[in-house]
Chains A and B, each alone.
Chain A
Amino acid sequence: MGYKLSFETVNSLFNELRKEYKIYAPKRFPKAGRYSDTDIIRYAEIKNVEEIVFDEKSDYPAKEVVSPITQTLFYFTEDEYREAKVHDKKVLIFARPCDINAQMNQDKIFLENGFEDTFYKRMRDKVNYVMMECTSSEDTCFCCSMGTNKTDNYGLAARFEEGQVLFNVKDDKFAPFFEGKEEAEYTVKFIEENETKVTIPVIPNKDVLNKLKEHDMWKEFNKRCVSCGSCTIACSTCTCFTTTDISYNENGSVGERRRTAASCQVAGFDEMAGGHDFRKTTADRYRYKTLHKIHDYNERFGQGHMCVGCGRCTERCPEFISFTATIEKVNKAVKEICGGECNA
């Protein structure tokens, strides 16, 4: 069922929803960008529809709502670790198809891989999506190449228009909120083509993979990549984290254990106690990330690649390293290794 709501009506809808839900959406943080007088768009709790940035890609992904950059896991005393509590509201996230698909990919790691992650699950269970329809695609987007331009994993769909929002109620539990609202024809659409297109290389076996790891193509990144990790924090699918304990005072034994997003691009990610690390160069680390996104993850879970083509890594890279350009270079390298035979 479709509805047409003026911004004013959306705000009163939000007021109703907020009794049960915390609403998160991409929001503008003026002048908070890397360079002066540039903005940042990132996910934050909102109250009004006017706060939602619907016509630009957010700099940071929706994953931050479910797995925030820093999260307290336990509070400890000398004798026990106590699980940190979570708020008791449900969560409504305005997210684009790529971000919703990205969360599905994160689910595999947090919920299926090995053990279930309690902290992720308890937040994930709260989440309902309002799928923000993309009416245009930006030049760094390549969701169609990754097959992540579409999703049916949402409760509501929304199309933003001048001063009004079209809603499609897919999950009946939201129907009561729309009772008496103006009905309208609204068929959900997805982006069908991006300006940027890539083919993901087929890496047929471990031998090719290991030859690819040693290929000269990575060398350029020793000069270009600065290992800052911006791409992984902006990535809608990266999940890695580091756990740290902090005490509230110097001598006391009361404190908290928290986890913080970690980046495989930052030196020390794989460093063991005693100082041995395995990926010593910038190129090693960039190669590690790249292959996870377009090979390793799919090799493990088998239901599509980790990368959802949101393009945020390219947007946020301070050194103008384009991920799609990198994928093309991998393509070329794989062709070289296989003599042009193995790449579909």
Chain B
Amino acid sequence: MHNELMPVACQILEFKQETQTEFTIKVATGDLKVEHGQFCQLSIPKIGECPISVSDYGDGWMDFTIRAVGKVTDEVFKLEAGDQLFIRGAYGKGWPVDQFKGKNVVIIAGGTGVAPVKSMINKFANEEGFAQSVNIIAGFKDENGILFKDTLKVWEEKFNTIYTLDRDEKEGFRTGLVTKFIEEIPFKDFGDNYEVVIVGPPIMMHFAGLECVKQGIPEEKIWVSFERKMSCAIGKCGHCRIDETYVCLEGPVFNYTQAKKLID
């Protein structure tokens, strides 16, 4: 009998330090299936499990971009290429990529929130013409918090990008919260052929959502990715439930019409 809670051993192919506390591991994940915006449960025996969103993937591998802020992530931080960890997944409902086809896609991402949209943006980069246009507002706290520096450069060349630092100055970056730059997106030019993706810390998503609605963006065009305490990831343990919704099953990606009503 298949046991969904059984994690499989996977080897780390690459370990890349992103910032002081954030790093990306590339893991050989065999035939585990994944879609853009989904997450996996990473395990280290005797430490435990934690949910990590898939920041990129390809044939037989996945990237996980992790901030060392907990028991498990601290331990993963100590690993290096060649080491082994355990994975099950991928889980949850990811981005409605097909719905984005041919559209002007606006992505507003804050901090580690860039991770869950990275693979999707890379898809847009690799499949020219999939999206009508890609517009990215990516914000980080300060210079030390900038993730995926090389990837940001690639995106900068291909897409309309606004990179910003909350409270720091750096060439190529503007200063201020992401919400400040939403009005710079040329929504008027998009007609109604666009979709908006918001992902980041809960407070950032809250205010970015409100700002978008204020800009007159219909709620059904806004998509967010929720962070909650996904623990079992299979709809059992209850930690991520909000009302009748299990974030691990129906999320982490929600349409804003639904998300705005999910009050913990």
Contacts and interface: CB of A to CB of B under 8 A. Distances in A.
Contacts of A216: none
Interface stretch (B66-74, B148-156, B217-225): B66-74
Interface stretch (A29-37, A42-50, A205-213, A320-328): A205-213
Contacts of A110: 236
Contacts of A81: 6-7, 43, 45, 86
Nearest to B74: A273
Interface stretch (A53-61, A223-231, A291-299, A336-344): A291-299
Contact of A273 (B44, B69, B248): B69
> Is the contact region of chain B dominated by helix, strand, or loop, or is it mixed?
loop
Contacts of A245: 43-49
A74 B86 CA distance: 13
Given A213-B263, A270-B229, A300-B244, A276 B202 contact: yes
Contacts of A114: 234-236, 246, 248-249
The interface centre, meaning the residue of A81, A264, A292, A300 with most chain B CB atoms within 10 A of its CB, is A81
Interface size class of A (residues with CB under 8 A): 35 or more
Nearest to B44: A245
A113 B235 contact: yes
B230 to A, nearest CB: 9
The interface centre, meaning the residue of B238, B241, B249 with most chain A CB atoms within 10 A of its CB, is B238
Contacts of A80: 9
Contacts of A288: 264
Contacts of B227: 272
B45 A291 contact: no
Contacts of A73: 5
A242 interface: yes
A115 B7 contact: no
Contact of A246 (B46, B248, B261): B46
A3 interface: no
B237 interface: yes
A193 to B, nearest CB: 31
B259 to A, nearest CB: 12
Interface string B1-41: 11111110100000000000000000000000000000000
30 contacts: A76-B45, A76-B46, A81-B6, A81-B86, A83-B3, A83-B6, A113-B236, A114-B234, A114-B246, A114-B249, A117-B236, A118-B1, A118-B5, A210-B263, A244-B48, A245-B43, A245-B48, A253-B46, A255-B45, A262-B237, A262-B239, A272-B229, A273-B70, A273-B71, A273-B72, A274-B67, A284-B264, A296-B243, A296-B244, A297-B244
Question: Lowest 6 A-B CB distances belong to which pairs?
Answer: A114-B235, A273-B70, A240-B238, A278-B264, A247-B46, A300-B244
